[in-house]
Structure 1
Amino acid sequence: MAASVEVVVGSIGRAHGIRGDVAIDVRTDEPERRFAPGAVLRIEGTQGCLTVEAPRWHSGRFLVHFAELSDRTAVEQARGQVLVVDVDPDELPEEEDEYYDRQLVGLMALRADGSEAGPVVEVVHLPAQDMLCIRTEAGERLVPFVSELVPRVDLAAGTVSLADLPGLLDDDEAEVAE
């Protein structure tokens, strides 16, 4: 069995109230799964752990009460710490056609003709949409991660297929198409 993968799920924000509730800067698409009651989260770079007692949404913010943070003072001392969990590298998201960043990074991007464009080196999360950062011979290019431009993700083959759109990866192609 493969070793687990460390995944960042959030960071500790400011205190909410005086009883130890804390606002979490969520960095996972599945906060209810990662912050389920009883879940043990590690503090990145330390041996410290926090046990989730009570997660809840309040006025658009995700609040959590940890067993180890009993009051506002304890929360303020923990502010800014990054929370991580170890997950099975074969674990898949709950929704179909969703992928974890770690599944996409390293896949080979294929042009519509089947030729290799380059590897996916990063997934960039922007407010409007996620972008695949692909390292091409011309440099790194950002491709919106939407089905119209990335119609196929084949994890077994290690590839993502790109749409046939002039200028998607090369600036010169866009000028020729105009």
Structure 2
Amino acid sequence: MQLVVARIGRAHGIKGEVTVEVRTDEPELRLGPGAVLATDPPEAGPLTIEQGRVHSGRLVLRFAGVNDRTAAEGLRNTLLVAEVDPDEQPEDPEEFYDHQLTDLDVVTVEGVAVGRVSEVAHLPSQDLLIVGTPEGGEVMIPFVTEIVPEVDLDEQRLVVDPPPGLLDADEGKGQA
């Protein structure tokens, strides 16, 4: 199984280094020198990490064969994908891989159906669950314990306790 472990950001310097947005809790394991990663889009890779370092709180990587700023800039927004064992679980029981959350049914604590998780968006401040509603719309739910108190993988559902207005934020939009 493949998991997105990082997204390449902008070029750093003139020697082919890039900043990356880390999307794994194990960057030293998945993004270390010698790691060979598939990419999305596939034609950008595979990429082999030559070296990595932290600069001003951001991970900076250099890939084999990427030797200048132009080549590095060409990789911007490419996703780095690692192959993992499908039975592998995060060490922390409060953490989940994106594939574990995608397609889970979402219900409120009162049991009202909200929809189904279609995507997990990774933002700098927090992750968002993108939930497709039965009406064909979508809602974005911050993936924090206060709003998502229960993730039941066995029952394939997420329980949400949304603050007022979170689930009906689209109401009234698009009407004349």
Could you tell me the TM-score, scaled by structure 2's length? 0.75
Matching residue of 1:24:
19
Count of aligned residue pairs for this structure pair: 165
Q: Indicate which of 74, 80, 83 corresponds to 2:74.
A: 80
Residue equivalent to 1:65: 62
- 1:2-21 matches, within 5 Å, as 4-5=1-2, 7=4, 9-11=6-8, 13-18=10-15, 20=16
What percent identity do the matched residue pairs reach? 41
Give the distance between the partners of 1:136 and 1:35, measured in 2 at CA: 36
Which position in structure 1 is the counterpart of 2:173?
none
Q: Which runs of no fewer than 5 residues in structure 2 stay unpaired?
A: 170-176
SS at match of 2:43: coil
Q: CA RMSD in A?
A: 2.9
2:40 aligned with 1:41: no
AA at the equivalent of 1:132: L
Structure 1 residues 78 and 42: alpha-carbon distance in aligned structure 2, compared to 1, 3 A threshold: farther
Q: What are the ranges of 5 or more consecutive residues in structure 1 without an aligned counterpart?
A: 172-178
Bigger Cα Rg: 1
Corresponding residue to 2:141 among 143, 149, 152? 143
Q: CA deviation at 1:109?
A: 0.6
Corresponding position of 1:175: none
Contact 1:41–1:49 (Cα < 8 Å) also in 2: yes
1:40-92 Cα distance to aligned partner (Å, 9 max, x none): 123432284332232110223322233333x33xx532433223323333333
Dislocated runs of 4+, deviation >6 Å: none
| Structure 2 match to 1:53 | 50
- Preserved CA contact (<8 Å) 2:20 2:60: no
* 1:15-46 deviation digits (Å, cap 9, x = unpaired): 4354x5x1223241333332112211234322
Taking a change above 3 Å as real, the CA distance of residues 135 and 98 of structure 1, as seen in their structure-2 partners, is same
- 2:156 corresponds, among 145, 155, 158, to 158
Distance in 2 separating the partners of 1:92 and 1:13: 31
Distance 1:53 1:166 in 2: 49
Amino acid at match of 2:98: D
Q: CA contact under 8 A between 1:141 and 1:169: conserved in structure 2?
A: yes
- What is the match of residue 176 of structure 1? none
Residues 88 and 124 of structure 1: CA distance in aligned 2, closer, same or farther (over 3 Å):
same
Whether the 8 Å CA contact 1:40–1:52 is kept in 2: the answer is: yes
After superposition, the Cα gap between the structure-2 partners of 1:164 and 1:76, relative to the gap in structure 1 and judged at 3 Å, is: closer
Which SS does the other structure have where 2:29 is aligned?
Answer: helix
